[in-house]
Amino acid sequence: MPALETCQPVLEIHPLGLRDYASTLAEMQAYTASRTVDSPDQLWITEHPPVYTLGLNRRGVRLPQNAIPVVPVDRGGKITYHGPGQLIIYCLIDLARNHLNVRQLVTILENSLIDFLHDHGIRAVARADAPGVYIEGKKIASLGLRLKNQCCYHGLSLNVAMDLQPFADIDPCGYAGMQMTQTSDLHIALGMADIAVDITQRLKEKLTHVRPEPH
């Protein structure tokens, strides 16, 4: 008998441009709720107008005292800020089909960012106690995911060339005094579009080379 061929799950890339946060969240939720075994995995590339998002861990959160809206969301974690000049990549992934658990996906997201920064001469690290990517103690990228029926949504945000001041009005991800940084302050001479292509390609390569763990 001929060997059975295994089909690699499809991974679609969707550049969305600047999009309202609440409507984008609703679309992610709707796509995830309606998925079938044949639904393609997707990466959504976007930016948002200024908005704070408040995760499910809301105890002790310091809310901002400014005019930027705060939107309660269903991801893990506490509060963070999104604004123009920040790269957002939402990951709509069927974890079971890709032989992944949440921790493995988080590692793929973090390592894609760390590898990108390394290739530009910058040493970045992940932290076991606080998902995200850090450079000399300053946070450059945040992660947050939601799992439903073994399919995830939400994803990562990378600070590229944005106004960082709104972060000072909160405790980013629940950490008082957390300092933020971004690629433009690190003299990475790439704009948003080029960084998006680079990071997306790294994610695609890592996601499409996942192999099931031996039993």
Is residue 151 flagged as an active site residue?
no
The answer on pLDDT for 7 being more than 80 is no
In this prediction, residue 193 has a pLDDT band, given cuts at 50, 70 and 90, of: very high
110 falls within a domain: yes
Specify the pLDDT at position 208. 82
| Average model confidence (pLDDT) across the chain | 92
User: Based on the structure, what is the number of domains in the chain?
Assistant: 1
What is the residue range of 36's domain? Answer: 11-207
One-letter-per-residue 3-state SS of the chain: CCCCCCCCCCEEEEEEEECCHHHHHHHHHHHHHCCCCCCCEEEEEEECCCEEEECCCCCCCCCCCCCCCEEECCCCCCEEEECCCEEEEEEEEECCCCCCCHHHHHHHHHHHHHHHHHCCCCCCEECCCCCEEEECCEEEEEEEEEEECCEEEEEEEEECCCCCHHHHHCCHHHCCCCCECCHHHHCCCCCHHHHHHHHHHHHHHHHCCCCCCCC
Tens digit of each residue's pLDDT (9 = 90 or more) over 23-48:
999 999 999 999 999 999 999 999 99
Instruction: Provide the CATH number for the domain around residue 199.
Output: 3.30.930.10
Confidence of residue 59 (pLDDT cuts 50, 70, 90): confident
Residue 1 domain flag:
no
Binding site residue list: 75-82, 142-144, 155-157
Q: Which residues are annotated as a binding site for substrate?
A: 75-82, 142-144, 155-157
